[in-house]
A and B are shown apart, each in its own frame.
Chain A
Amino acid sequence: MGREALVVCSDKSMGAGITVWDIDTGDHLLHIPTCASPPHGFLCLRNQVLVASQIHKHGSVGGGAISSWHLRKPQAPLRSYPIEAIGPIACTEDGVYLAGGAPSGNAYIWEVTGGRLLKNWSVHKKSINCMEFSDDSSLLICGSDDGMISIWSMISLLDIADFGNLPAPLCSSSEHSSAITGLLTTSGSLSSVLVSCSLDGTCKIWDLVTGTLLQNRVFPQSLTAIAVDGEEQLLLSGSADGTIFVNLLNIGLSKVSYTVLQDQQLVLNGHNGLITAMTFCNAGLVSASEDCSACLWDVVNWVIIRRFSHQKGPITNLVVIPQTSLVKQYNRIFHVSLLEKYPHPSNLWKEINTPLSPSSFEDDHVTGEFRSTALLNQQILDLEHGRTEAAIQMKLETSMENRLWATRMTKHVMEINKHLQTRLLDLMQCRLLRPDSASTQMSKKLKVEYSSP
């Protein structure tokens, strides 16, 4: 597990910006200026790009903006201006889709790489407070200011065939009596549940697909933030007065409703203001509050390990990213485009710009296989059985070569033979003509002939 960094932002003023701390040491790592985003309006795509919705508070025209910063070069933000100001935003696990909800109750879905606005539709009558994608990114959950929760299927939302039509939610409910302040889903396909918390002081656990209420937990305070730990054992609920309640998240229980009693849970008192966000990281739990501080909690003894104080204003959002995101050279840089203001139906039919099989491996790691051994064995078989044309051809050529060689050899032998014959004739002639010296000469000659070849 690498080191992690805590990224926070405020909604006080654009001057507050984004602050990045080393979570383990508390060192200040980075400050990105000009950012003020409302609660749930801040996230990190693929650990590479920070995205924040901005609400211009005073005298701004045309609502707000959505800004994005590449963590590698945070000096140059990309600012998109949607039709209206966007409050909460959410992204899918792979960072391909970004959803945003507006105070008017409208929601928008963009494809991040191409910037295309794929869908905009009216979700709730009241302002959308928070949005969340399900664990497998196939469902989008919206919570509104009047306590409505609606669950939407991404496939039908993005279905280009009925682009203009008003989509219908998979299910919706209005069990909460006050504004939804937090939504989260658990992983796993068998028990996909949705946990919601609200200012009405309840935390409700729902079946994600059917929308049936599984549990209703009543707390003594208005709840403003929720989180679950990595093992999904604990449910943490942050409240309006700065206390954090720690409960076991027992999903499989058949109980529908109960009041959470004080002594059934752990109460963490560390903040003086409303808890705005919480998340788990390697080092423990991080909570952020309107009291201008963020705390890192030890999750065994439940004590504050470190307090980060944010002088620039109350913290509204926090994310935890690996520190390598700040320095790492990515093989492929995650591309973010300017988000479109209006949907262009014709654009929907455009090509999709995508990286093909973006593997974590470098391209150098290609492995080839050696071929000659297999080929050798096959060719031997071919040769032995004379199966293929090529094998027969080679056999033929070999035997032709052999014949040529044999012919050459024959010629050579014949030449030698001829030579010998003439010698013999010479010899015999000598003998017949000069028999006296023949014997000595012959022996000499023979010696010469034997030694010469």
Chain B
Amino acid sequence: MAVFDNFINMYDIKLKPRLLRTLIKEHVPDEKHPFRNPSELSKVVSMIKTHKLLGESSMEATDKKQVEIWTSTVDAWVERLFSLVSSSMPDKRWAGICLLGVTCQECSDERFLASYSVWFHKLLSHIQQSPGDCHFVKVASCASMSDLFTRLGGFSNVKKEGTSHAGKLIQYLLQLLTDDYSEAVWEGAVCLLLTIMTFFPSSIHRHYDSAEAAIASKIISRRSSVHMLKKFSHCLALLPKSRGDEDSWSLMMQKILLTINVHLNDAFQGLEDETRCREAVRLLVAPAKSHPPPLGGQNEASEKLKKRSEQSVISSISTLMLCCSTMLTNSYPVQVNVPVRPLLALIERVLMVDGSLSQSLLPLMTSMQQELICSQLPSLHLHSLELLLSIIKGLRSQLLPYAADIVRLIKVYLKGCTLPELRIQVYLVIKVLLISKGLGMVVYFAQEVIDNAIIDLDSLIHDIGNNASSDAYRKAPSESLLKSSRRKRKHGNRSGSFEEHNDSVNMEPEVFKKGRTSSTSLKIAALEAIECLLSVGGSLRSESSQAGNQKFWRSKIDNLLMIVATNACDGGWAKEEKSVFGPNEKTSSYADLQLASLRALLAALLSPVVRPTYLSQALDLFRRGRQETGTKLAEFCVHALLALEVLIHPRYLPLVDPSQTSINCISAGLNFKLPENKYSHDKKQNPFLVNDESWNQDGDETDYLLTNVEKNVNYPENPNETSGDPEVENIDPTVGSSGIKDSEEQEQQPAMAASDHFVMGDNKDAVMVDAQLSMENSPQENAICHSVNVGPGRTEEESANSEITPGKDFRVDKDDGLAARSENPIIFDSMKGKGSALELDDEGMDSFPDIIDAEPDSD
């Protein structure tokens, strides 16, 4: 190759074989030289992946010669790998196997299909029982083999070959699992098994029982780590898929549940009534039927059990529960019979054990045993809650007959549950229940959720005195909040309502520092539950309660959320830090809490019972949050402001998009017809005016302003004034003037003059209409425009005659509109005047606070 044979750029196809050759020459180990630096390999892999060096073809590859060069280079690469794989040095073998795995992912489809069989056998020889291979190499072979099957699974035309190849592999894999290897090898083998189960499930069919035995013994034996147990449980859960029939699934579920219950009998001895454990088994096995064979098929498993420590029993139970969850949430090719009753009984059985000794059986357990079991119980509870969640997910609406049962269970459980991790999980369950079961569930659950959330948010509500937020709290929230807390100050009992707490805080803040402060993630979970409650059941107005204490939950929650959000966000915005250390640890930062509180606040604002009193404070929060460039919080605040826009300026959307000539939207269609009533009826009857009433209730003001306007603008009492309406001008000035010409030519000059006058005189107002995003008065203006444009008085015959051209149509309707209007000029004027009047009224003021302050009073 010439020294100056340069490339066009880094995308040049010529570069790729050259790079690959360099890699082969300099970075990939070979037979002759010792392999010193394994990290070289990682560079090689990243180079291959970035530049797609094994792709062998590219979009612009028209040059045949270049492609040939590339192909031969890849051939050389594969040859080198082969020599490495069969090398006598373990490290070179390892390198070769790893790179072969990468090749499986990266090479071209043609090459893969042509040579996967060869590669399979190369890798297989390392997975097979060969004493020479060290574990490291075995693990790498499993991973590479898994990649090979993953890639193979993507081709639908080689399913059969894939299955037969996988079938050859299974027995060696199961051998790996049963033999006494290190955990890394087991993990590799299980992952490979999972891959095969996912892509070629039928290949396991023949080895079903031995696979079940191998995996089950791993779960029941005490020697695996939690991480591995998870993988084993997943594998066991997927196993029935290889048969794909209803019975395998049910049998597996039954076996697992029986095993769990047998284990529980051991673990819970002395902690629960004997009847409960008998009941659990009775539910599982129908009286007439015989017990199914134990899980894994070996009887000695249960014998071994007796000797083992409590700790490993509990970890096996957790693993098996996880397995049930996976079975319930993964898809299955046919419908299955889910034993809901035993599953729920199991969950209830576990959740009802809190480590206290049952009265009758006191002497059976030593304190050490109790200590042991109590240390393990939280994880067991967590897993049963997870299982509950999976049941809800898996059964969807078919769970409905059991929903009331579950709610009762959770209500009882929440009373005693104090550990934050468990409460978070319960909140999660509640959330899913609320969303899936809708309004009916809210009726059941609202009070429970709120009471518990208030307890968990307690420290946030009283987050006063630590920083400046104390002052801000007193000033910031709206009058009503302060009022409520002042009112309550008289009686200082602290029985649960936050307002009462609030009070005592003002008097004795230090009391609450001693109180329970819940973790950030628990607060977030509580806030999320409330958010969910509000979004699902926001329509549950305060008067909806049946019981007296339920009465004011809505207003209570609204106030609560405002206080929480204010307190959470008042100290400034927390940084969204991503911790570099300990990425596995799931922690929630204060920024997440702020976000959660704002989310809940938005839900409260968007599901209003009345116009929220604290809207301006909330908007202020969102606006401030928007400044935090580049954070999730800012992103959410922008969304919140967008969503609240409708609430701030309630209005009808413009009925017709003036830029669109063809209208096919349903409501637009109707509105062509409906506005006619506007002119002929009292405005109380007019659906389009109702919105307006809330803004301007007394007609006196309107009259006064009307005269005012007339004085100011010198409005001419003739129908052509519409042409002076800036909005009409906006829509189509040329058509408008032509309409005038057509209708009343002799009045054209004065009318134009008048309209000029109007526009000039009212210029400021007109501008303001635009500036205020055509607030509440725009619907009428629009309605007028449209009625003028297309016509209110369109009769049946006209609508039947849909062939009228737009221009013609307009003229006809224009006349109609004018006629209709001249019948009722006063009403039109009052409306017109009101539109202007509002503008005049708002002049020089910020329109927005005006609305907020005015609204509660006018209600």
Contact B404 A155 (CB under 8 A): yes
Tell me if A218 counts as interface (CB < 8 A to partner B): no
Among A189, A190, A302, which residue has its beta carbon within 8 angstroms of that of B669? A302
Q: List 11 A-B contacts (CB under 8 A).
A: A134-B439, A136-B438, A139-B439, A189-B439, A190-B538, A209-B439, A299-B666, A355-B335, A357-B330, A370-B104, A398-B90
Among A159, A352, A388, A401, which residue has its beta carbon within 8 angstroms of that of B89? A401
Whether A394 contacts B94 in the complex (CB less than 8 A), given A159-B404, A258-B685, A351-B339, comes out as: yes
Report how far A380 CA is from B685 CA in the complex, Å: 79
Contact B404 A156 (CB under 8 A): yes
Tell me if B443 counts as interface (CB < 8 A to partner A): yes
Contact B140 A372 (CB under 8 A): yes
Tell me if A229 counts as interface (CB < 8 A to partner B): yes
Minimum C-beta distance from B341 to chain A (A): 5
CB nearest neighbor in B for A366: B198
Tell me if A338 counts as interface (CB < 8 A to partner B): no
Minimum C-beta distance from B761 to chain A (A): 35
Minimum C-beta distance from B238 to chain A (A): 11
8 A Cβ contacts from A193-239 to B? 207-210, 212, 229-231, 233-234
Tell me if B191 counts as interface (CB < 8 A to partner A): yes
Among A111, A154, A300, A391, which residue has its beta carbon within 8 angstroms of that of B664? A300
Whether A354 contacts B335 in the complex (CB less than 8 A), given A96-B397, A300-B668, A372-B98, comes out as: yes
Among B134, B146, B606, B800, which residue has its beta carbon within 8 angstroms of that of A303? B800
Whether A384 contacts B38 in the complex (CB less than 8 A), given A356-B394, A357-B331, A390-B134, comes out as: yes
Report how far A207 CA is from B541 CA in the complex, Å: 10
Contact A370 B147 (CB under 8 A): yes
Interchain pairs with CB closer than 8 A, number: 300
Chain B residues, Cβ within 8 Å of A432: none
Whether A155 contacts B331 in the complex (CB less than 8 A), given A349-B341, A391-B136, comes out as: no
Tell me if B319 counts as interface (CB < 8 A to partner A): no
Tell me if A301 counts as interface (CB < 8 A to partner B): yes
Contact A401 B88 (CB under 8 A): yes
Tell me if A348 counts as interface (CB < 8 A to partner B): yes
Tell me if A444 counts as interface (CB < 8 A to partner B): no
CB nearest neighbor in A for B404: A159
Report how far A264 CA is from B674 CA in the complex, Å: 7
Contact A155 B437 (CB under 8 A): yes
Whether A97 contacts B400 in the complex (CB less than 8 A), given A233-B670, A354-B394, comes out as: yes
Tell me if B265 counts as interface (CB < 8 A to partner A): no
Chain B contributes a number of interface residues (CB within 8 A of A) equal to 109
Contact A231 B667 (CB under 8 A): yes
B 67-91 to A, binary, CB cutoff 8 A, 1 in contact else 0: 0000000000000000000001111
Tell me if A261 counts as interface (CB < 8 A to partner B): yes
Contact A393 B134 (CB under 8 A): yes
Among B150, B337, B339, B401, which residue has its beta carbon within 8 angstroms of that of A159? B401
Whether A353 contacts B685 in the complex (CB less than 8 A), given A97-B400, A207-B539, A368-B198, comes out as: no
Contact A155 B444 (CB under 8 A): yes
Minimum C-beta distance from B113 to chain A (A): 17
Chain B residues, Cβ within 8 Å of A234: 666-667, 670
Tell me if B359 counts as interface (CB < 8 A to partner A): no
B 655-674 to A, binary, CB cutoff 8 A, 1 in contact else 0: 00000000111111110111
Contact B336 A264 (CB under 8 A): no
8 A Cβ contacts from B241-281 to A? 250
Chain A residues, Cβ within 8 Å of B90: 394, 397-398, 401
Tell me if B42 counts as interface (CB < 8 A to partner A): yes
Report how far A233 CA is from B802 CA in the complex, Å: 23
Contact B670 A303 (CB under 8 A): no
Tell me if A246 counts as interface (CB < 8 A to partner B): yes
Tell me if A158 counts as interface (CB < 8 A to partner B): yes
A 393-407 to B, binary, CB cutoff 8 A, 1 in contact else 0: 111011001100000
Tell me if B105 counts as interface (CB < 8 A to partner A): yes
Minimum C-beta distance from B618 to chain A (A): 17
Contact A263 B677 (CB under 8 A): yes
Tell me if B305 counts as interface (CB < 8 A to partner A): no
- Apart from A192-B539, A250-B687, A393-B136, list 5 A-B contacts with CB within 8 A: A153-B444, A156-B444, A266-B670, A394-B136, A395-B91
8 A Cβ contacts from A33-78 to B? none
Per DSSP, chain B at the interface is helix
Among B156, B396, B443, B535, which residue has its beta carbon within 8 angstroms of that of A170? B443
Report how far A430 CA is from B396 CA in the complex, Å: 102
8 A Cβ contacts from A98-150 to B? 111, 113, 118, 134-139
8 A Cβ contacts from B516-564 to A? 535-541, 543-544
Report how far A53 CA is from B477 CA in the complex, Å: 58
Tell me if B403 counts as interface (CB < 8 A to partner A): yes
Chain A residues, Cβ within 8 Å of B34: 402
Minimum C-beta distance from A362 to chain B (A): 11
Contact A363 B676 (CB under 8 A): no
Contact B681 A264 (CB under 8 A): yes
Contact A372 B134 (CB under 8 A): no
Tell me if B405 counts as interface (CB < 8 A to partner A): yes
Report how far A352 CA is from B250 CA in the complex, Å: 11
Chain A residues, Cβ within 8 Å of B38: 379-380, 383-384
Report how far A298 CA is from B454 CA in the complex, Å: 53
Report how far A97 CA is from B398 CA in the complex, Å: 8
Chain A residues, Cβ within 8 Å of B334: 355
Chain B residues, Cβ within 8 Å of A261: 677, 681, 685
Contact A138 B440 (CB under 8 A): yes
Chain B residues, Cβ within 8 Å of A447: none
Report how far A335 CA is from B677 CA in the complex, Å: 52
Tell me if B799 counts as interface (CB < 8 A to partner A): yes
Chain A residues, Cβ within 8 Å of B535: 189
Tell me if A452 counts as interface (CB < 8 A to partner B): no
Tell me if B107 counts as interface (CB < 8 A to partner A): no
Contact A363 B134 (CB under 8 A): no
Contact B338 A354 (CB under 8 A): yes
8 A Cβ contacts from A333-389 to B? 335, 348-359, 363-364, 366, 368-373, 375-377, 379-380, 382-384, 388-389
Which 4 A-B residue pairs are closest in the complex by CB-CB distance?
A136-B438, A372-B101, A138-B440, A300-B669
Contact A348 B331 (CB under 8 A): no
Chain B residues, Cβ within 8 Å of A192: 439, 539
CB nearest neighbor in B for A404: B88
Tell me if A94 counts as interface (CB < 8 A to partner B): yes
Chain B residues, Cβ within 8 Å of A350: 341
Report how far A97 CA is from B401 CA in the complex, Å: 11
Tell me if B39 counts as interface (CB < 8 A to partner A): yes
| Of listed B149, B337, B401, residue having the most chain A CB within 10 A | B401
Contact A138 B135 (CB under 8 A): no
Chain A residues, Cβ within 8 Å of B208: none
Contact A155 B441 (CB under 8 A): yes
Tell me if A255 counts as interface (CB < 8 A to partner B): yes
Chain B residues, Cβ within 8 Å of A92: 397
Report how far A246 CA is from B671 CA in the complex, Å: 11
Report how far A377 CA is from B44 CA in the complex, Å: 11
Contact B329 A357 (CB under 8 A): yes
